[in-house]
Structure 1
Amino acid sequence: MRQGSIGFLVLLLAGFAAHPAAAQDPRDAALAALAREHPKTAIGAALIRGGKVAWSGVAGAQDGKQPATRDTLFNVASLTKPVSAEVVMRLVQAGKVGLDEPIADVWMDPDVAGDPRARRLTPRLALSHQSGFPNWRPQNQRLAFVRDPGTGFGYSGEGYELVARFVQRKLRTDFEDLAEANVFRPLGLANIGYTWRPWMVGRIAIPANGNGFPGTTGPRAIGHWVAADDIYVTVGDYAAFVAAVARGDGLSPELAAERLRSQVAAPGCAKQVPGCPDSVGMALGWQVMTFGRRRLAVHEGGDPGVTALAYFDPDSRDGALVFLSGEGDAPLAMRVIGAVDPQSLVLAGYRAMLKSRAP
């Protein structure tokens, strides 16, 4: 859909409001229109301005039987990683963990414990995807280095699992409890969890495919958390989390700046075309893109039936997020961003990356 067509639809729908006081927010109307096009998809979005949540909305189908609401819990796939990184960063701020301390001094995955390269691993390298591990170890096979730690970017969920188990072992506290004490409670996040909780009953958005709603295993059993994937959260709680990160809550100005400093170059456009970021790097839990004098901290997540994206400008503290659970994909996510945050650099960057990869 061409940019601007959503806005026209919003104006059209708003014109039918029965009374000015009952007029629907244009962004809510836009989400509702997109949900009608994708009846098997739950759509959530939020807008952040100046480090505060300015708007959030949810539309579509939660599970094929009931509508998605603000209480709906989305699986946000790899958007789990910024949350886990925040847990580690706040432990660094508290002086309980060193960003550059050797993980092997406390614990190391048995599969690589005998490899001398394991001595190089630190929380900084794990959080910036420089662990040297693959994304995930092959099923029923041992974990092994695919490159030397600290020698380049290599997206790795295994690196996040390593650093989470390191802080758990060092502090003798379950990682979920560390997240609760250091991030969830301080930020007032009551609708987020790595694993199953009784309050999740009847609230989970179920992924869909072309054959309908296939069902899902849902959150993992308590104690079986994964630091890199599959956290469940409402749009409102994740938006509050992003706003807090944009404000630098809980960290000194120096550590907050370090969190968003590019640690290693990451892939960007295949060839430079208008709209491409000037540079792409991996910081600590967030990817950082530069567009001239502007920066964006970005992270995305994707699993079967799940698409998620969150971003913010560290200087203006403006940002947005979009969650899809169902048949949505990246093009639909961009349509949501076009309706919610139409001037976002994410839109131009997404289109430019597609063009850069075209033959």
Structure 2
Amino acid sequence: MKSLKAICLAATLIALPAQAQDQESPQQWLDQAAPALLAEHDVPSVGVALIENGKVVLATQYGEQEWGVEADEETLYNVASLTKPITAEVVMRLAARGEIDLDRPLAQALVDPDIAEDPRAQKITARMVMRHKTGLPNWRYETEGTLKFIADPGEKVGYSGEGYEWMMKAVEIWTGRNFEDLARELVFDPAGMQLTSYTETSGFLGHVATPYKKGESVRNVVREKPSASDDLRTTPAEYARFMLSALDRPRIAGKLADQRSTVRDVTSYRPACREGELAAFCPSRQGWGLGWFLYDYGDRVVLEHTGGDIGEKAIALYDPGTRRGVVVMTNGANGHKVMMPIAGRLMGDPRLAELLMTPYG
């Protein structure tokens, strides 16, 4: 239950002058700010990992993975759409090994019956999926339960989980392998992600964070089959190790790696950074690379992805230039109100901190 003391403490800590903040270590700041933020926003727990100079230097957690059970280093959060960068990495590593072609039409493997008669279905590729330019909705419930095109493929940016699911199924057909097995071989094991999984394992017992909304547990999804775009279970430390494996010590080089961290189609999900005179904290360019959203400030490029379902919110950021990154995971409907100030503070850039606190719209 939140208290007036906790609310005041959270507001004070976040608003501290830069000079006062610099006197505190990240751990010291978190030890005060994280519990106060959890109390203020009725979020059960938060897990945080910090990367400095290409190493995970801090991994900690606060609060309870379910009421009465403390979160610990093995608490497995549902990271929702933070699943997508891992899926994209698996696909790109297959492409780097020459096992698949990112520009091969997915329809050569399979086509959803809903769009099988639409010639546009023949144009969609894995590269379009990872840049969110398929022309498909996020989910088919947005088009009355039937999958339909809402734009021509390649025409404009439109976030789509449906595209990721199609890409995963095509990759399974082309390789003849289960996607979970591919992820284990290509990403999880090399990065030391023993607990991470798309689907339930024996390691889930006693470690799954229960999602909450208004103090009550809500739909707690644990998959029996992999989803390319949602519901991966992991810890902040393991996701941080994934980012280092993918972005700091990459197994992908050359043009493919460059495309992951290059803004091709400028877009913004925040009105303050797309309408009229841009706010001072806005990047000069922002938009999708392959699998990641990019904030290009000119002097630094930050790769970002968020995830959010009914009772879980998460964010991951990494700056290849400074080799600094942050992962924050929560199991509460108001988790974004906890993760954004934490991520902004720990990334160490006032522009980015203000950007993260700016509403979508």
**Short-chain TM bin:** 0.7 to 0.9
Take 1:215 and 1:297, find their aligned partners in 2: how far apart are those partners?
A: 30
1:256 aligns with 2:257: yes
Q: How far 1:108 moved relative to its partner?
A: 1.9
Q: How far 1:137 moved relative to its partner?
A: 0.6
Aligned twin of 1:298: 304
Q: TM-score, normalised by structure 1?
A: 0.87
Q: Percent identity?
A: 35
Q: How far 1:331 moved relative to its partner?
A: 2.7
| Cα shift readout 1:73-101 (whole Å, capped 9, x = no counterpart) | 00011100001001101100111011111
Aligned twin of 2:205: 201
Q: Are the equivalent residues in 2 in contact too, given 1:38–1:327 (CA < 8 A)?
A: no
Amino acid in structure 1 at the alignment position of 2:120: R
Amino acid in structure 1 at the alignment position of 2:355: G
Aligned twin of 2:4: none
1:349 aligns with 2:355: yes
Aligned twin of 1:64: 67
Take 1:344 and 1:320, find their aligned partners in 2: how far apart are those partners?
A: 15
Take 2:179 and 2:51, find their aligned partners in 1: how far apart are those partners?
A: 28
Aligned twin of 1:124: 127
Q: Please list, as runs of the form range in 1=range in 2, the aligned pairs for 1:172-211 lying within 5 A after superposition.
A: 172-210=176-214
Aligned twin of 1:315: 321
Aligned twin of 2:341: 335
1:109 aligns with 2:112: yes
Q: How far 1:339 moved relative to its partner?
A: 4.7
Task: Return 260-269 or 81-90, whichever deviates more.
Answer: 260-269
Take 2:64 and 2:330, find their aligned partners in 1: how far apart are those partners?
A: 10
| Cα shift readout 1:206-265 (whole Å, capped 9, x = no counterpart) | 11121x2325433112xx221001111011111111122221421124322122222322
Aligned twin of 2:234: 233
Matched residue SS, 2:315: strand
Take 2:284 and 2:242, find their aligned partners in 1: how far apart are those partners?
A: 27
1:100 aligns with 2:106: no
Take 2:18 and 2:71, find their aligned partners in 1: how far apart are those partners?
A: 23
Gap change, CA 1:267 and 1:26, over 3 Å in 2: closer
Take 2:17 and 2:233, find their aligned partners in 1: how far apart are those partners?
A: 29
Aligned twin of 1:163: 167
Aligned twin of 1:244: 245
Take 1:6 and 1:158, find their aligned partners in 2: how far apart are those partners?
A: 44
Gap change, CA 1:12 and 1:102, over 3 Å in 2: closer
Aligned twin of 1:218: 221
Q: Are the equivalent residues in 2 in contact too, given 1:320–1:341 (CA < 8 A)?
A: yes
Q: How far 1:270 moved relative to its partner?
A: 3.8
Q: How far 1:294 moved relative to its partner?
A: 1.6
Matched residue SS, 2:120: helix
Amino acid in structure 2 at the alignment position of 1:309: I
Take 1:10 and 1:312, find their aligned partners in 2: how far apart are those partners?
A: 21
Amino acid in structure 2 at the alignment position of 1:151: E
Take 1:11 and 1:162, find their aligned partners in 2: how far apart are those partners?
A: 46
Instruction: Select which of 150, 157, 177 maps to 1:153.
Output: 157
Gap change, CA 1:295 and 1:9, over 3 Å in 2: closer
Q: TM-score, normalised by structure 2?
A: 0.87
Aligned twin of 1:78: 81
Q: How far 1:6 moved relative to its partner?
A: 9.6
Aligned twin of 1:20: none
Take 2:110 and 2:350, find their aligned partners in 1: how far apart are those partners?
A: 42
RMSD of aligned residue pairs (Cα, Å)? 2.6
Amino acid in structure 2 at the alignment position of 1:203: H
| Cα shift readout 1:260-306 (whole Å, capped 9, x = no counterpart) | 22232222424311101222111111011111332111111111121
1:274 aligns with 2:277: no
Q: Are the equivalent residues in 1 in contact too, given 2:282–2:351 (CA < 8 A)?
A: no
Gap change, CA 1:7 and 1:143, over 3 Å in 2: same
Task: Return 111-120 or 338-347, whichever deviates more.
Answer: 338-347
Amino acid in structure 2 at the alignment position of 1:237: E
Task: Return 105-114 or 60-69, whichever deviates more.
Answer: 105-114
Gap change, CA 1:350 and 1:26, over 3 Å in 2: closer
Task: Return 78-87 or 33-42, whichever deviates more.
Answer: 33-42
Q: Are the equivalent residues in 1 in contact too, given 2:345–2:353 (CA < 8 A)?
A: no
1:136 aligns with 2:139: yes
Q: Are the equivalent residues in 2 in contact too, given 1:248–1:256 (CA < 8 A)?
A: no
The unaligned stretches of length 5 or more in structure 2 are 1-10
Take 1:6 and 1:61, find their aligned partners in 2: how far apart are those partners?
A: 30
Q: How far 1:127 moved relative to its partner?
A: 0.9
The unaligned stretches of length 5 or more in structure 1 are 15-23
Take 1:88 and 1:230, find their aligned partners in 2: how far apart are those partners?
A: 18
Gap change, CA 1:6 and 1:175, over 3 Å in 2: farther
